[in-house]
Structure 1
Amino acid sequence: MTTEPHTPAAPYGTPDAPRVAVRGEARLEVDPEIASISITVSARGTDRRTALEDLTRRNTAVLDLVKTYGEAVEKLETGAFSINPELTRKGRAEHIRAYHGRVNLTAELTDFTALGELTSRLSDLELTRVDGPWWSLRPASPVYGQARTQAVREAVVRAREYAEALGTHLVALLELADDGSENTSSYDHPIAVGYGGGMTRSVVAEAAPALDLEPQRQTVHAHVNARFTMAPPQL
């Protein structure tokens, strides 16, 4: 019994059903939806208990301040926490000179007017550092869908232009491959907007002026590959 050899389909179509392969692209520039800041609260004490109590007090003050902004703060999370001894050498022995405490928090805001005010107030707190902001879109932002839709439409238009250049028209879609869409904004280095001194203040300072933070536009790319069949052109 003999088996007829299998002839694979022509990868680039046939004279009766020529193919056209195109790439559709889209690039949108939109306003950010979220601004993230990183908050680092520090404390120092001559013993572990003192450092921990001071850190707890400062951390509570930061949390209370952030929470006063209500719905403007979409997310508030506590990250790493540490209490570390500072060692000093006296003769051949090492002694603990002090204890250093640190806790990191992350806040995401959707109200950028409140962001400037909150950033300034946090920066005015002692032993509190604020880094950011980092601008972004939500993972489920409709902007990504808009970019993909625009990329597909551009692929169809491009394929039709090729077909019309040959005096023919598209017949069917064979393949639509999503190369994905992603936010490709390049962020600047974080801006260290405040670090309080280590001394206790004896005079109540005036409220810090609100920072005027200009949102960074976000660039969203989408790419698709599409293959179509055309009616045979008359060449």
Structure 2
Amino acid sequence: MTQEHAHATPEAPQVTVRGEGRLDVDPELARIGVTVTARGTDRTAALADLTRRNAQVLDLLKAQGDAVSTLETGSFSIAPELGRRGRGERVQAYRGRVRVTAELTDFTVLGELVTRLADLELTSVDGPWWALRPDSPAYAEARRLAVTEAVARARAYAEALGTSLASLLELSDAGLARPGIPMPRDFAGAPVAFAAEGVGETPPLDLEPQRQTVTAEVVARFTMRPPAL
């Protein structure tokens, strides 16, 4: 007899059940990644182009106001590219890159925003990654549904024995599944990517938010009134 069931007796039988709560809800956040690049034979000119393009991206994101809740520069790099011919280390060009991440709470501006970002020179956009807020009410609701199912399941077992539940001995959280794919640090291989060069006035993309599934599991242990077997 395990310690968990050490106090189970014919006068106080126990039942242990698992309950699950599952919800499909609309996302609350959309994360996008923007990569700005520049390349040129002159280091100073390449850096100037990178700075200008990065400023255009930041200005466009900041212009969205409260729709963009988080804006971060992830990384910056500029490095020489060496020529493949010749014995010396001859610099052929300089390549620079800046990565920016943004988190949006207003999806009505998302389609136009990613289209305008992708329309910028040597700029690519990855995403969106749909998610819920860390404190989303959906998590609490999933837990409540899990507890409700655990009680109902335990009561069904008790009723099958012709008796009823007496008291709750233990309730433990077996896990909470948080939806959404975290945005990778490196945008390569992202699920969706947008890029355009000099395409002019491009119609906004129609991006439909992806529903999020939240699941919670609990394990509950009850005592039952002695059944008449």
TM-score, normalising length: structure 1: 0.89
The corresponding residue for 2:90 is 95
Contact 2:130 2:180 survives alignment (8 Å): no
Paired with 2:118 and 2:35, the residues of 1 have a C-alpha distance of 10
Contact 1:83 1:102 survives alignment (8 Å): yes
Is 1:232 paired with 2:229? no
Match of 2:12 among 17, 24, 27: 17
Offset at 1:10?
A: 4.6
The corresponding residue for 1:138 is 133
Deviations 1:152-209 (CA, angstroms, capped at 9, x unpaired): 011011111111111111111011010121224569952111143xxxx6xxx63221
The corresponding residue for 1:158 is 153
Is 1:194 paired with 2:195? yes
Paired with 2:83 and 2:203, the residues of 1 have a C-alpha distance of 40
Contact 1:129 1:192 survives alignment (8 Å): yes
Offset at 1:41?
A: 0.4
How many percent identity over aligned positions? 62
Match of 1:70 among 65, 73, 79: 65
TM-score, normalising length: structure 2: 0.91
The corresponding residue for 1:36 is 31
The corresponding residue for 1:212 is 206
Paired with 1:9 and 1:48, the residues of 2 have a C-alpha distance of 69
Gaps of 5+ in 2: 183-188
Runs of 4+ in 1 over 3 A off after TM superposition: 8-12, 184-189
Cα 1:13–1:100 change in 2 (3 A) is same
Contact 1:75 1:107 survives alignment (8 Å): yes
Paired with 1:193 and 1:122, the residues of 2 have a C-alpha distance of 9
Secondary structure in 2 matching 1:93? coil
The corresponding residue for 2:117 is 122
Contact 2:23 2:142 survives alignment (8 Å): yes
Is 1:54 paired with 2:41? no
Gaps of 5+ in 1: 1-7
Paired with 2:7 and 2:110, the residues of 1 have a C-alpha distance of 55
Cα 1:105–1:221 change in 2 (3 A) is same
Deviations 1:37-90 (CA, angstroms, capped at 9, x unpaired): 000000112122111111000000110011111111111110010001010044
Contact 1:130 1:195 survives alignment (8 Å): no
Secondary structure in 2 matching 1:17? coil
Amino acid at match of 2:200: E
The corresponding residue for 1:106 is 101
What's the RMSD between the two structures over aligned residues? 2.0
Paired with 1:90 and 1:161, the residues of 2 have a C-alpha distance of 79
Amino acid at match of 1:46: T
Aligned length: 222
Offset at 1:13?
A: 1.2
Cα 1:213–1:78 change in 2 (3 A) is same
Paired with 1:90 and 1:151, the residues of 2 have a C-alpha distance of 66
